[in-house]
Amino acid sequence: MLNLRFNFIKIIKKNLFPFYKNKELKLIFKKLHQGHQKKTVVARFVGGCVRKHIVGDNIDDIDVATILTTDEIKKIFQDTNFKIIETGVDHGTVTLLTKKFKIEFTTLRRDVRTDGRHAKVEYINDWKIDSERRDFTINAIYLDINGKIFDPQMGTTDLKNNNVKFIGDPQKRIEEDYLRIVRFIRFKIMYNSKVEPTTNNAIKLNLDGIKNISKERILSELFKILDLKNFLSLNNDKYLKDIFSLIFPEFLYIDRLEKLKKLLSYSKINQNIVLATLLIDEKNNHEYFSHKYNVSNKVKEDLNLFAINLKFLKENKNFFTKDLEKNIYLNGKDHVITLNILNYATNNKYKLSSFYDNFRKILQTKIRKFPISGKYLMQHGLQEGLVLGKVLKNVEKEWIENKFEISNKRVLEIIKKNTN
């Protein structure tokens, strides 16, 4: 019933409030068409925004294909309030930032020469030829500002049937850019698509080519995969699981995803939780992954913190009992909830019933508020500076260790000790 209601809402949203009717987008397309004959198609939406519009998903970034060059686009918008970013001028791409949208314009083109990573391109005015260089039929659906679809590769049919299909020869498409193997995995997971024999053979023959792709591009695709709800069902598809394991051999614990699936009704399973579940063990496997893919400092710090605190949790039998309030105060409720999830996912001795009991206790625990401020300490003789900060930390530490209690008399004793 919930799924039927959700699908109904998506259909209503798609038909009554299509993204292409946005006033800002209408204005942008009007400026693009100025100086051209009415029958000339200067620009069309393409790629993810069109695909998401058709199925009723939320649209974030927008891709626009156009017969205009990057210089022409920059000239059109140079005296507007929109910001222009030269994201890939050499390949015919500029980005326009508006109040609501990030719009990437790419000149129609065909690939003259490719090496599996980069392409030498030639700019053209032929929409069908432009579609032939794209990866999948479902990403080669064009939509004009009036909502009219141009679909030279029959992508709408494949989208309706959840069929992720390479345009033309899969072998040729993959050889043009080996990252398309990882992208295929993402879309196959997204749409639960079947794999055609020719696609299967092409992927197996070209897996080695992925090592020539920059780690940054691979990581970008990987994080999009980890964000997919369907990714937690990876174990249900042996073919996909095997291919994924060959591309990412660092993920030693794919079987743990089954345990994460059981927790979806309790908590949101975000990208960081999935990544930590796949990596963390007693051999610091996560550190090797972080080094190999040169992940951001934020991701590295999160993985390290999860690993350290999981180890502490497993060694501390009182973590979810008498020390729970303390752990929530020091780490935050969200972090402790995450540790509870990771403990269940990575520890076979930790039962679902224990997870639920502790989850309930975490939610019911109120976060304490430290009652002493720097202003209070200054009112009782301390000067602003390093000493004040040190005393405040010592008072807070004693307050925590004393089950969140400390008398005014004891605070004054600590102040006196540090002012003599």
Residue with tokens 């794919």, as numbered in its chain: 254
Band (pLDDT 50/70/90 cuts) for residue 273 is very high
Q: Is 217 exposed, middle or buried (0-12, 13-18, 19+ CB in 10 A)?
A: middle
For 178-206, what is each residue's pLDDT tens digit? 999 999 999 999 998 888 899 999 999 99
**Sign of the Cα pseudo-torsion (125, 126, 129, 130, in order):** positive
Query: What is the architecture of the domain spanning 169-249?
Result: Orthogonal Bundle (1.10)
Q: Is 283 exposed, middle or buried (0-12, 13-18, 19+ CB in 10 A)?
A: exposed
Average predicted confidence (pLDDT) for the chain = 92
Helix axis angle for 352-364 and 324-331, nearest 10°, is: 70
The first and second tokens of residue 39, run together, are 């029958």
DSSP label at 329? H
Domain regions of the chain by residue span: 1-161, 169-249, 251-368, 374-419
Query: Among 58, 72, 75, 70, which Cα is nearest to 19's?
Result: 58
Bridge partners (DSSP) listed for residue 43: 66
Query: Among 260, 250, 420, which Cα is nearest to 345's?
Result: 260
Q: What is the pLDDT of residue 382?
A: 85
Q: Please give the helix or strand (H or E) that residue 122 lies within, else none.
A: strand 119-123
Q: What is the pLDDT of residue 67?
A: 97
How far is residue 284's CA from residue 203's CA, in Å, rounded to a whole number? 31
How far is residue 393's CA from residue 168's CA, in Å, rounded to a whole number? 66
Band (pLDDT 50/70/90 cuts) for residue 87 is confident
**Residue 377 Cα distances to 201, 226, 327, 400, angstroms:** 72, 48, 26, 18
How far is residue 314's CA from residue 346's CA, in Å, rounded to a whole number? 11
Residue with tokens 């065909």, as numbered in its chain: 110
Q: Which residues does 317 contact at the CB level (< 8 Å), separation at least 6?
A: none
How far is residue 395's CA from residue 202's CA, in Å, rounded to a whole number? 65
**Residue 52 Cα distances to 143, 148, 273, angstroms:** 12, 15, 26
For 282-340, what is each residue's pLDDT tens digit? 899 999 999 999 999 999 999 999 999 999 998 999 999 999 999 999 999 999 999 99
Bridge partners (DSSP) listed for residue 136: 166
For 24-36, what is each residue's pLDDT tens digit? 999 999 999 999 9
Q: What is the pLDDT of residue 417?
A: 83
* In the predicted structure, residue 2 carries a pLDDT above the cut 50: no
Q: What is the pLDDT of residue 114?
A: 67
For 110-167, what is each residue's pLDDT tens digit? 887 766 556 678 899 999 999 999 999 999 999 999 999 999 999 999 999 999 999 9
**Percentage helix, strand, coil for the chain under 3-state DSSP, each rounded to 5:** 60, 10, 30
How far is residue 406's CA from residue 372's CA, in Å, rounded to a whole number? 10
Instruction: Give the whole-number percent of the chain exceeding pLDDT 70.
Output: 94
How far is residue 418's CA from residue 420's CA, in Å, rounded to a whole number? 6
3-state secondary structure at position 61: coil
Bridge partners (DSSP) listed for residue 177: 116
Please tell me the CATH code under which domain 1-161 is placed.
3.30.460.10
Beta strand segments in 141-280, E: 142-143, 149-150
The pTM score is 0.86
In the sheet that holds 142-143, the strands lie side by side as: 83-88, 93-97, 102-107, 62-66, 43-46, 142-143, 149-150
